[in-house]
Structure 1
Amino acid sequence: MEVSFLKQTAFEPKTISPINGNVSAANDTGTDDTWYGVDRELPIIDYTMFKSDDPAQRSKVIENLGKWCQEYGFFIVKNHPVPENLIKETIDKFMEFFDQTEEEKFKYSTRDPDDRIRFFQGDKNIISREYLYVTTHPTLHCPDEPPTLTETVREFSGRVRELGIELLRGISESLGFEQDYIEKKLTLESSFDFLTVNDYPARQCSTNRLGQVEHSDTGLFTLVTQNTNGGLQLEHNGQWLNVNIKPDWIACNVADFLEILTNGKYKSVVHRVILNNEVRRVTPPLFIGPALDTFVSPAPEFVDDSHPPGYLGMTYRQYLELNDHQVIDGRSWLQQIRL
């Protein structure tokens, strides 16, 4: 099968009753169940089938790719060309960065949106994480330490970006256009891409298990790798679904600018992060975006009398400035620019 479903296994080693993530309840142990997601099958695409020379096989994959972008704004990719050892090496290097002294890390602590390297430490009473923001394309900016971090990130971000561009070509086809439709519309040759590397601590039973509040992603498309399973949850039909993936699989999020471009046909997925109760989780998602000065609004191909423009248009630079604190407080300007 070219597209299957991933059977989810809860990352908490407890038997619980699935509840809506927006509701707080107490289980029989007296702990807060607010953070428990629902186990549900999620879409997974075999990349070897996506690249198949069999037209019928590839056509089915593209059809399902479009279906998942509409229904979930999310899918998982397996058997992709990004080496598992490169993913591990990259995450290990970033763990070395986070394990440095506060003095070393806070050299990069800034709120200036023009800074291409930024370190942030969350308020543990609100969200529990540290993160490092580094731009990767068209120019890579990376901390000097630890040694070889820059070289590792260059290879990792390049390989993941190549995968993302290939998937976006498939998404273009799923919309009924040529493979380069999105690339041309959003000037992806000069795309502004970045990593937001998250370091989530392990946390046992607590009144606050939140690693990152619910949000959608800026940019066009996000590819997520991680060092350990469990923690990511996506919102679907009013429920929080657990996303559990193998170390060599990559989770893919439709982001805000793909929703804007398609006038809401493809959905920017709302998601959050819950702290693993046993294991530290480090994840370096790559955010692929349009070129900074590319103006994006609902494309004419998605607008008609029955589907008027649903979003204000703006450049990616303007949107990032509006969303500068999104990674801190979880707000997204997508809601603000809906018409």
Structure 2
Amino acid sequence: MASCATISSSEAEAAAAKVDASEISSIKVIAESKGGSLIPITYHSITGLHDNDNAAPHLAASIPLIDFSLLTSHRAEALHQLRKACAEWGFFMLTSHGIPDSLMEELMIKSRQFHDLPLQEKEEFADNDPFAPIRHGTSFCPQAENVHYWRDYLKTLTFPQFNFPHKPPGFREVAYDYSQKIRLVARKLLEGISESLGLESNSIIESTGFDSGLQLFVVNLYPPCPQPHLALGMPSHSDLGLLTLLMQNGIGGLQVKHDGKWVNINTLPNCLIVLLGDQLEVVSNGRYPSVLHRAILNNADTRISVVLSNGPALDKEIGPVVELLEKEKPLFKSMKYRDYFQVKQKTQLSEKSSLDDIRL
């Protein structure tokens, strides 16, 4: 859908006059500036002229699709599908997850309304600390980046304590309901993933302290970009945490890397995308790799994604599950999730660089 919000002429003029991209507080304002046809050079993040041509449409038919209800009705079949999807792709699309369509639709509406608020109404949430409970900002970490990304974000910590903006009206309540339901889905998936590794169903949950683990709730806004062939919404990266569950507003843009090729992910209506995170690669001792993914842009429609990263407890030492080390050597050294989270949130994104730092 095209952007429906308007900004004042003074906001547009001020945004257009800014040269230093590190000082831009909202890419949405830049995108809506009158007459904008070029993007700041510091947003030129596609290194090769034909980078987007490295896509593999023939792989789209092979994208793993898992029916969540099978974990109850046909568990052996579901575990087989989970094992294959996690080992070969590092992600899957999830259907029949039980989260009401109406809740997902309302959350998407409220997410758009938040990003449509005037800048001055969002200033109280300015991102200054990776452990701040509510953060609003742009790009990923502008202070640490040489290249910036065409997105605005809202990041909140919604578990073990729930934090969320009090505006627009109703956003907090809808987000709370959704975040709780996502945790239940993530927990059930982790039980299945544990069993698919030959472990007890509660093995990953207990070894990571999941029941008191961190949940990061992110609402991304990717406005139309005048030069989408030059910029990215997010670069190639893997996620922290164990499982990331994502939904989007029907506008494509997510790509995952599979066999060295980028694959466009166009989801079914009300389907969830499940991405394996770095800590799942660690606890599985490399059997289930976290997936590289990125967000590409277009010049016509605004894309919104709602992303919930479900991770270990902050003070838990995360390493390969002990049972897996009875017959194999550890591939990763242990590290407190708090330390990993802080490093990942304060440095520029670069593929799996943070995970590589703890690889043995």
For Structure 1 versus Structure 2, the TM-score category normalised by the shorter chain is 0.7 to 0.9
TM-aligned CA distance change 1:282 to 1:330, over 3 Å:
farther
Match of 1:325 among 346, 352, 357: 346
Paired position in structure 2 for 1:161: 183
After superposition, give the CA deviation of every residue in 1:97-145 in whole Å (9 maximum; x if it has no partner).
1111111222211221221111111279731000010011111111111
Aligned to 2:234: 212
Matches of 1:221 and 1:243, distance apart in 2: 17
- Consecutive unaligned residues of structure 1, counting only runs of 5 or more, are 1-21, 26-31
- Which position in structure 2 is the counterpart of 1:334? 355
Moved over 3 A (4+): 22-25, 204-207, 328-332
What letter corresponds to residue 58 of structure 1 in structure 2? R
State the shift of 1:276 in Å: 3.4
Q: Give the Cα–Cα distance (whole angstroms) in 1 for the partners of residues 240 and 224 of structure 2.
A: 27
Aligned residues: 306
- What are the Cα deviations for residues 163-220 of structure 1, in whole angstroms up to 9, with x where unaligned? 1111111111111122211111111110111111100112355442410001000011
Residues 121 and 23 (structure 1), Cα distance of their counterparts in 2 relative to 1, 3 Å cut: closer
Task: State the TM-score, normalizing by the size of structure 1.
Answer: 0.85
In 1, Cα distance between equivalents of 2:298 and 2:308: 21
Residue of structure 2 equivalent to 1:14: none
Tell me the equivalent position of 1:38: 56
Contact 1:229/1:245 (<8 A) preserved: no
Q: Which runs of 5+ in 2 are unaligned?
A: 1-45
Q: Are residue 24 (structure 1) and residue 30 (structure 2) matched?
A: no
Structure 2 distance, partners of 1:120, 1:330, is: 19
Please tell me whether residue 50 in structure 1 is matched to residue 71 in structure 2: yes
1:72 matched residue in structure 2: 89
Structure 1 segment 34-183 matched on structure 2, within 5 A: 34=52, 37-39=55-57, 40=59, 41-52=62-73, 57-122=74-139, 126-183=148-205
**Structure 1 counterpart of 2:111, which letter?**
F
Say which SS state the counterpart of residue 338 (structure 1) adopts.
Answer: coil
Give, in whole Å, the separation in 1 of the partners of 2:131 and 2:70: 41
- Please tell me whether the aligned partners of residues 154 and 220 of structure 2 are also in contact (alpha carbons under 8 angstroms): yes
Aligned twin of 1:19: none
Give the 5 Å matches for 1:153-302: 153-302=175-324
RMSD over aligned Cα, in angstroms? 2.0
Q: Whole-Å Cα distance in 1 between the matches of residues 350 and 126 of structure 2?
A: 19
User: Normalized against structure 2, the TM-score is what?
Assistant: 0.80
